[in-house]
Structure 1
Amino acid sequence: MAAPALAGPGEKAAQTGAAQTATTPAGNGRKAALLIVGHRGASGYRPEHTLASYELAARMGADYMEPDLVITKDGVLVCRHEPEIGGTTDVASRPEFADRKRTVVLDGVSVTGWWTHDFTLPELKTLRATERIPAIRQQNTLYDGRFEVPTFQEVLDLRKRLSKELDRELGVFPETKHPTYFKNLGLALEGPLVRTLRRNGLDRRGAKVFVQSFEATNLRELADRYRIQVPLVFLTGASGGPFNDPRSYADYLTPAGLRELNDYVSGLGPEKGQIIPRKADGTLGTPTSLVRDAHRAGLKVIPYTFRAENSFLPAELRVGADPSAYGKAIDEQVTFLRTGIDGLFTDNPDVGVLARTLV
């Protein structure tokens, strides 16, 4: 599947930040350009951020695998949703690590648990992954204790192997998690990320790689200091703003803010409610102007996160009263794809691949 035409920061500099009017391809061309990103792998079917989850996403047809990156005490990038691993591994049941439990201030919030930066990689490799939301995804608990916490390098090795086996180039869409927090610990994520990409020949124009972050300053540093060549994607929330940043996400998403982002960012990853908000009764409302505004600023739009269970769906697309049961997830994704977005993050890549054919 061809990647959308997103420019890396080097090309952004050559464009001197000029806003470019994007056009949406029609018909089969548009379908081919839509990206299906396996959110933390195929995390609707396997515990997230495991090699099993990433592999299943690829076999279901995802164009990209999405690993969240945190770091160990000895400076190795590993794939976890958060640096706190009490809810995604069996560490709480390991008496040898009971004394590692502690409270830290993570982006201004006190959080108690076990932290990747308190473990060396060999120690972390003794742990096993568990389902993060077992109340909703009980079927995933079948795999608790089966899989290791993978390194970023292991994900890239898997990508290379599966690309050959499936005869199509798979992409990788890493996210830097809490980069300011880790930098303040002396464990900055930027250098290890760029070095890993370059060691694998992936920091180059045309590589099927995007790097994403909720922190604009992190992306600016990757562009300006590290001269990263792959496209950068700014993730946004429906409220608040990046940590330790005086600007809100809403400010970044004004027409002027989007034009400024175009200097170093090639795409947006908004929370899906920023594309189609929900009304007071939980049903889908009227689409906002964000897709149009972003395209006018020369930015692609790939929202998150699409899931199949009723608890994550708008009210009119739920089926039955069981929050864990599947609702009309295909309908939701088709509805969003028809707004002109350029792809989506989904825990159920097979649903995304099917929805893409129906646009």
Structure 2
Amino acid sequence: MRHTLARAALILCPTLALAVGDNEQQVSAPAISYGDRPAYLIDKLPEGALKTKLRSCEGQTPKRSLFSIGHRGAPMQYPEHTVESNVAAARMGAGILECDVTFTKDHELVCRHAQNDLHTTTNILVSDLADTCVVPFTPADGDTPATAECRTSELTLEQFRMLTPKMDSADKSATTAEAFQGGVAPWRSTLYTDGAASMTHAESIALFRDLGAKFTPELKSPAVEMPHDGFSQADYAQKLIDEYKAAGVPAKDVWAQSFNLDDVLYWIENEPEFGKQAVFLDASYRINGFVHTDPATFPHDFADLKAKGVNYIAPPLWMLLSVEDGKMVPSAWAKAAKKADLKIITWTLERSGPLAHGGGWYFQSVKDLTTDDSMYLQVLDVLAQDVGVEGVFSDWPATVTYYANCMGL
């Protein structure tokens, strides 16, 4: 499979060079190109200093940036967590690429956003493996939407490899499994799905390194009870790190993530070099009563997290922003995290589609200011210059790369 990924990357990017050394093919990093989207967004900006600055960089030579993080690759247009999606993100200059990590029935680590998302991200419901789904496809009936649930933990790695990736979507009005495969958002695309290749976590490490990128794996919450056939949560967290060690990847190139604080603390205690850059994904927004502008509602003591060895924290971007006197400013949450000397990474830019109607979940704290797609760049500017984030996940990394290069980040 190592050579298969190399060949797949070469086919996707003919400018890649294959060099034979130590009996192993290596794929050199692709040339970086912004494409049209950054200029499209700049054109939409209101006249002012930000637009003038960004326009002044239109002739710059694109460079890879660690500030730019590929969120599942580049899933605005490519099936997430595939070779194709990550090659596209690398072409856009993303300096860090993500593999969301879950496990199969035989406890092999694979790149998948959730252990139970196969019914929306692959063709499993129309394949010979449909009978492995824990919730079989059930057609829509009146106001009751169509449902299904299919897990990697029900498949061996060999079976997982038999699935075909697709854009993450489902037509919940469907009355057949074939129709359920649809539902792709109109601002995404199915143009680049043909032949898309999924990856194991170990294969993602090899590919990302060949593409010239660093690594941010996320240990996903299991959909099954742990331990799973003797495989404990600690085993799971350790195996993720072990695969970097086996590949000879230095800890300084890895930002392991988890929403589970215990995972982060496990890495800090048992793999301290990797633990230094472990990222605690903050899901405070799920807690009843949480208000990102009211410190009295914050469930975490930031100073205590820092004392325990947590150095990086990552909330959704809306938690870092609020509006005062009609101006976008850092939120109380952002100020408190910075005061505790926590480094902030945030997610996810360009996952919301067109912003003409407020931007939805990711822009909820600045929805009154969000009237068009130029808000992607305005939000990015405040996150970088006022909040001081270390990096930004995006579904289309070219925008973040362009901004980072222009601003010298």
Q: TM-score scaled to structure 2, two decimals? A: 0.65
1:137 Cα deviation after fit: 5.0
Deviation of 1:256 after TM superposition, in Å, equals: 7.2
Q: Does 1:126 align with 2:171?
A: no
The aligned counterpart of 2:120 is 87
RMSD: 3.3
Is this contact kept in 1: 2:104–2:157, CA < 8 A? yes
CA distance in 2, matches of 1:336, 1:224: 31
Whether contact under 8 Å (1:179, 1:218) holds in the other structure is no
Aligned partner (choices 238, 241, 244) of residue 197 of structure 1: 244
Whether contact under 8 Å (2:77, 2:189) holds in the other structure is: yes
Stretch deviating more after TM superposition (39-48 or 332-341): 332-341
Question: Is 1:349 matched with 2:397?
Answer: yes
The question of whether the paired residues in 2 share the 8 Å contact of 1:172 and 1:208 is answered with yes
Q: Give the partner amino acid of 1:260.
A: D
Change (3 A) 1:56 1:257: same
Residues 252 and 268 of structure 1: CA distance in aligned 2, closer, same or farther (over 3 Å): farther
How many residues get paired? Answer: 301
CA distance in 2, matches of 1:201, 1:137: 42
Structure 2 SS opposite 1:264:
coil
Which residue type is aligned with residue 233 of structure 1? Answer: V
Give 1:351's aligned amino acid: T
1:258 counterpart residue number:
302
- Post-superposition offset of 1:140: 2.7
How far apart in 1 are the matches of 2:123 and 2:391? 34
In the superposition, relative to structure 1, how do residues 276 and 251 fare at CA in structure 2: closer, same or farther (>3 Å)? closer
Deviates more, 1:290-299 or 1:267-276: 290-299
- Cα drift, residue 315 of structure 1: 5.6
Partner of 1:115: 151
TM-aligned CA distance change 1:100 to 1:329, over 3 Å: same
Partner of 2:69: 37
Q: In the alignment, residue 196 of structure 1 is paired with which amino acid?
A: E
SS at match of 1:64: strand
Q: Does structure 2 conserve the Cα–Cα contact (< 8 Å) formed by 1:301 and 1:343?
A: yes
Gaps of 5+ in 1: 1-30, 105-110, 164-169, 242-246, 320-325
Q: 1:68 aligns with which of 100, 108, 112?
A: 100
- Write the distance in 2 (CA, Å) between the matches of 1:97 and 1:180: 19
User: Aligned with 2:281: secondary structure?
Assistant: strand
User: Matched residues in 2 for 1:144 and 1:159: separation?
Assistant: 20
1:116-135, Cα deviation, whole Å (9 max, x unpaired): 01111111111111111453
Asked whether the equivalents of residues 130 and 143 of structure 1 are also in contact (C-alpha less than 8 Å), the reply is: no
Indicate the structure whose relative CO is greater, using CA pairs within 8 Å and at least 6 residues apart.
Answer: 1
Quickly say closer, same or farther: Cα 1:139–1:346, change in 2 above 3 A: closer
Q: In 1, distance between residues paired with 2:237 and 2:227?
A: 13
| Equivalent residue letter for 1:184 | P
Larger Rg: 2
Q: Report percent identity of matched pairs.
A: 24
User: Residue 321 of structure 2: SS of its match in structure 1?
Assistant: coil
Query: How far off its partner does 1:214 sit?
Result: 0.6
Q: 1:301 is matched by which residue type in structure 2?
A: I
TM-score, length-normalised on structure 1? 0.74
The reply on whether 1:183 has 2:226 as its aligned counterpart is: yes
Relative to structure 1, the CA distance from residue 271 to residue 102 in structure 2 (aligned partners, 3 Å threshold; closer, same or farther) is: same
Give a deviation string over 1:221-240, Cα, whole Å, max 9, x none.
Answer: 22224445351111112522
Structure 1 position 212 matched with structure 2 position 257: yes
Where does 1:144-293 land on structure 2 (aligned, <5 Å)?
A: 144-163=193-212, 170-179=213-222, 181=224, 183-185=226-228, 186-187=230-231, 188=233, 189-204=236-251, 207-227=252-272, 229-230=274-275, 231-240=277-286, 257-262=301-306, 263-277=308-322, 285-293=328-336
- 370, 380, 384: which one aligns with 1:337: 384
Aligned twin of 1:136 = 185
Alignment of 1:11-50 (within 5 A): 35-50=67-82
Tell me whether 80-89 or 140-149 shows the greater mean CA deviation.
Answer: 140-149
For the Cα contact (< 8 Å) 2:280–2:310, is it kept in 1?
Answer: yes
Q: In the alignment, is the contact (CA less than 8 A) between 1:302 and 1:342 conserved in 2?
A: yes
Q: 1-side partners of 2:243 and 2:205: how far apart?
A: 9
